[in-house]
Amino acid sequence: MKKHITRTKKHCRGTVTVLAGLLLIPLLGLTALAVDMGYIFLVRSKLQATADASASAAVLELPSQDEVITAAQEFAQLNYPDGGTILQDANIEIGVWDDLNKTFTPTGTPLTANAVRVTVHRSEENDNPLELFFAPFIGVDTANITAMATALVKLPGPCGPLIGIKEVEMSGNGHTDSFNSDDGPYDAATAGASGGICSNGQIEMSGNATVNGNLDTSNTLGPSGSSYGIRLTGNARVNGNALYGDGFSLKTTGNASVSGSSGPDGNGVDLDDYQAAVYAPPVPNDNHLIPLSDQGNVAYQGDSFALSGNNTITVPSGTYHFKDFGISGNAHVTVSGPASFHINRDFSVTGNATLLLTSATEIYIDDDFDLSGNGIVNQSMTPNNLKIFMTGALASNDNCRLSGNAVLYAAVFAPNADVDYTGNSDLYGFVVGREIDITGNGSIHYDEALKEDEDFRWLTRKGTRLTA
């Protein structure tokens, strides 16, 4: 009996050893699952954060494809320096994000893009798969991990040459587009697509008006009594997106069309960026430098400047202060150097009169601005060499009238004034107004170089968000 019991114990010990050996493999599998899966989730989370950062940095460089790629690679390396090459240039895509349908469409035209998609990899294809700890015991040495992010650019600053705080109406045969004067004069053949319109109210287009850029309104200022944040009629065309505020919609009739996406994702404008200039007029007053006209007439008298008829006068560089400034008839005024004009009431150039500016000039106007006829000639043909600031209060009901046949190169900042742009002449620069009404055949070309001007730094403000 004792021998039988002893043999049974030895037999049991052998059985347990075999069972333990058999269970070791699934135990190692469970360990691999617990440890290595946790490691995979940790690395994937880090890859996702890297993709998010890379896409968010890259989208700020639109529309330059080279700079998009450079920024994406730089931030991928900064956020994930030890994983080898996790981002290939081919996995940096420029395209259009449709916020309404939640889709991304790659595009070969960066000028129309509003988003960047980045895909990062730890994979055998990239020669950097993730090496595992315990999984090799069950025949799995590495894991392939991928993370993707799409970032959408949002523009709190102006989306183009026309910013009407309360409303923008555009009709006639004009169009908008963009250029950069730092790269040379405007050329229609190479014009950009940053000629958008921004507002916090309704945007209306009719006739044959064309916008090469986006329409963007928050509709926080209306319109009241209407559900249409954006209205397009006739042959109006938007070569870009049409974004409106929550609770509003886009209405198109006739042959009107939008080439991009549309939806309730409008940003509008940040009112903090569009306050009328508040300044203390500089102390120097060079009014005494103003000479007589070529016909011996006095232009400066009674604190105002007035020249008419066929008179011609050359005003030297300086700082000038007037109650009113007016040139009419066939009068011609040349400003021979850098100058600033500070007008307490109205400024006007009408009839066939001409104001010729040879250097950088700033004009500050407290009441109305009226430009017609031959208007202001900015000899440099560079918009940032003529800055027009309308400084009146919101309740003053000031008007800014731009018409005539003269091409205008200028930055017009009149957030508290209603701007009427008529006639057949083009404007190069940008216009900010309380309400903007554009008629006639004139076109407006946004100069993107103004973003680098210290007076308009808010033009460079861009925001981004990751898409859902």
318: left (phi over 0), alpha (psi -120 to 50) or beta: left
140 shares a domain with 215: no
Dist. CA 58–CA 73, nearest whole Å = 9
Dist. CA 438–CA 223, nearest whole Å = 18
Dist. CA 427–CA 414, nearest whole Å = 15
Report the pLDDT value the prediction gives residue 236, as an integer from 0 to 100: 97
105 shares a domain with 28: yes
The last residue of one of the domains, among 154, 185, 220, is 154
The last residue of one of the domains, among 154, 183, 216, is 154
84: left (phi over 0), alpha (psi -120 to 50) or beta: left
AA letter at 110:
P
73 shares a domain with 10: yes
Report the pLDDT value the prediction gives residue 156, as an integer from 0 to 100: 46
In whole angstroms, how far apart are CA 323 and each of 61, 175, 305, 315, 343?
45, 36, 8, 17, 5
How far is residue 60 CA from its own chain's centroid? 10
* CA dihedral sign, ordered 124, 127, 129, 134: positive
Report the pLDDT value the prediction gives residue 109, as an integer from 0 to 100: 73
Beta-sheet strands, E only, within 385-440: 386-390, 398-402, 408-421, 427-438
Beta bridge partners of 322: 343
AA letter at 158:
P
265 shares a domain with 130: no
Give the count of beta carbons closer than 10 Å to the beta carbon of residue 185: 10
Dist. CA 138–CA 135, nearest whole Å = 5
The last residue of one of the domains, among 154, 170, 203, is 154
166 shares a domain with 112: no
3-state class (DSSP) for residue 227:
coil
Beta bridge partners of 376: 355
178 shares a domain with 128: no
Dist. CA 154–CA 171, nearest whole Å = 27
In whole angstroms, how far apart are CA 357 and each of 229, 334, 376?
40, 6, 7
182 shares a domain with 135: no
Report the pLDDT value the prediction gives residue 272, as an integer from 0 to 100: 66
Would you give the end-to-end CA distance of the chain in angstroms?
76
Q: Give me the domain span that covers residue 36.
A: 2-154
3-state class (DSSP) for residue 271:
helix
Report the pLDDT value the prediction gives residue 464, as an integer from 0 to 100: 66
168 shares a domain with 116: no
The closest of 44, 62, 193, 41 to 117, measured between CA atoms, is 62
For 366-375, give one letter per residue: b (16+ CB within 10 A) or e: bbbbbbbbbb
101 shares a domain with 44: yes
> Per residue of the chain (468 residues), what is the pLDDT tens digit?
454 444 445 555 555 565 555 566 666 666 667 888 889 999 999 999 999 999 999 998 887 899 999 999 999 999 998 888 999 999 999 998 886 678 999 987 776 788 999 999 999 988 999 988 877 877 888 999 999 999 987 654 446 789 999 999 999 999 999 999 999 999 999 999 999 999 999 999 999 999 999 999 988 888 888 889 999 999 999 999 999 998 999 999 999 999 988 998 888 877 766 666 555 567 789 999 999 999 999 999 989 999 999 999 999 999 999 999 999 999 999 999 999 999 999 999 999 999 999 999 999 999 999 998 788 999 999 999 999 999 887 767 889 999 877 899 999 999 999 999 997 889 999 999 999 999 989 999 999 998 878 777 655 555 566 776
AA letter at 293:
S
166 shares a domain with 33: no
Report the pLDDT value the prediction gives residue 34, as an integer from 0 to 100: 81
When divided into structural domains, the chain yields a total of 2
In whole angstroms, how far apart are CA 7 and each of 2, 15, 21, 111, 344?
9, 13, 22, 87, 117
In whole angstroms, how far apart are CA 88 and each of 84, 93, 125?
11, 11, 11
Q: Map tokens 């183009």 to a residue.
A: 160
Dist. CA 450–CA 448, nearest whole Å = 5
Q: For residues 424 and 405, is the Cβ–Cβ distance under 8 A?
A: yes
Report the pLDDT value the prediction gives residue 21, as an integer from 0 to 100: 58
Report the pLDDT value the prediction gives residue 160, as an integer from 0 to 100: 79
131 shares a domain with 30: yes
Contacts of 4 (CB under 8 A, 6+ apart): none
456 shares a domain with 432: yes
Length of the chain: 468
